[in-house]
Structure 1
Amino acid sequence: MAEALGAAAQGGRLWRYSSRCGGGGSGLFWRGDRRLAAGNKVEGRVIRSQGFRRIVAADESGVWKEVDLEDHDLRPVSTVGRSTNIAWHECPVGRTDREKLLGQKGCVIWITGLSGSGKSTLACALSRSLFSRGRLSYVLDGDNVRHGLNKDLSFKPEDRAENIRRIGEVAKFFADAGIICIASLISPYRKDRNACRDLLPQDSFIEVFLDIPLEVCEARDVKGLYKLARAGKIKGFTGIDDPYERPLNCEILIEQEEGICPTPDAMADQVVLFLDRKGFLRV
């Protein structure tokens, strides 16, 4: 079955559709009811036309066949960023079906805080706690993602924004799959975190702020990065010569109590309690 690509009949908007038009290849062209009629505009392989009902489509063999648009489903295509003529394909198995299968609701737990605040430690403890309860989660650790998907990005402000945008988009897919996605990264800029929040349905983005003082994080310095930053060998290091913008309305705040940091299990329990209370651990 060859695929014919259809142009919109209204306002020059482009549409895409599939039809049986003979031959064994992919459809290459479409046109109005008159071959290259006046008013049609050729754009590469696209011929835009206004107000037609029937088209003639050709496959790779060059065989033209008349196709009635009313006999076929039309799907609008759009331009997103630099991607043109794309259409969103819906699957018959939806988010609700996947959540029923898993017995949980998908969401994104976004753990933010200074380097050394315990983000990765909390993420792993939380994942382990959820696993012990029979709940499926996945950790997107900032350093791990930079080993692959984001290895082309630096720590300049514009690259940090792109790093967070990409992780937010991946996290959105995990949540749509019904998985509890745990994103753990500094994400210092408020606008970038809010942009990720806006990707998710309401209440599915759970921001966890590890509010651990800079002096505590610097004393830990598990990677030796604070020492390098203080020596001027690392530029743009969050908390030293680059700002960290505290969340204004995070869902979960984790902080010291009387100068003592909570244990990893205690932090994980705080998040699990929130998830249970909000109904994410059941359907």
Structure 2
Amino acid sequence: MNQTKPDILAIGSVLWDVIGRATTPLDIGSDVPGRIIRIPGGVAMNIAMTLRRFGLIPAVLSAVGRDAEGDELVAETRRLGLVTDYLYRSDDLPTDRYMAVEGANGLIAAIADAHSLEAAGAKILTPLEDGRLGSAAAPYDGAIALDGNLTTALLRDIAQSPVFAAADLRVAPASPGKAERLVPLLDHPRATIYLNRGEAELICLDRFESSAKAADALIARGAARVLVTDGGNPATLATQDKTLTRTPRAVMVTRVTGAGDTFMAAHIAAELRGEDDTQALDTALEAAARYVTGEHPQ
């Protein structure tokens, strides 16, 4: 068993991504040649893999079945250099999956089956409570990347839990449809919330013309620190005291699934290396640009 001490924890979905890609634009009902791949995925997994590429050693906390797919997933996760000691392995829950179809015009449709993660609930957090990584009396005080595939009730518990009181929390929704789950964590004093403009609009029940407007609205709602992206448009980092907006370079997009996770992981890694706000935001935007062009590996 890998006993390496992790630099950061990634909590949330760890599953198999099944992605179909075509090099031509797609519409509803399109039937075209392409490639179908199966790779480790899930928001927490994507973030952890990117953190590993930036030289950090992440541990993943999630639910993975004791089925054949789960055994394969854990083996591949270890091969990628991630710590799997703290995974919750379920005897009666299947390994989760995500399925997406992408064309030259972007993501066409996706379905995330994270029901096992949701059913496992607080069991995935046991290592933070039983002394292996921390406890209520001696909470974990490192960085944690947390994704919104957890249930609203569990995210609400995390927001109030002494187990997370000392952590550097980095939080992102699993998808636009789950963005509202993050509301309980919005005003956590040690949380940085990562959103795209559309997700910010869902949380604020409003429309914004830019990432800066969205970030300001989130801060007005009590958020301590937010980072709002907007595709190829400017991204904004905001706190109660400052707002910083930076523009990514223009690129040719060849893939989109995982781009937001790459951005978040690159930003976390940059800040843990000691980069200031401007440097870290530029580093993350460049990492995302290289990812969507296909320059970074899956």
Calculate the TM-score normalised by the size of structure 1. Answer: 0.35
User: Which has the larger share of strand?
Assistant: 2
- The structure whose Rg is larger is 1
Counting helix residues as a fraction of each chain, which structure ranks higher?
2
TM-score, normalisation: structure 2? 0.34
Higher RCO structure (Cα 8 Å, ≥6 apart): 1
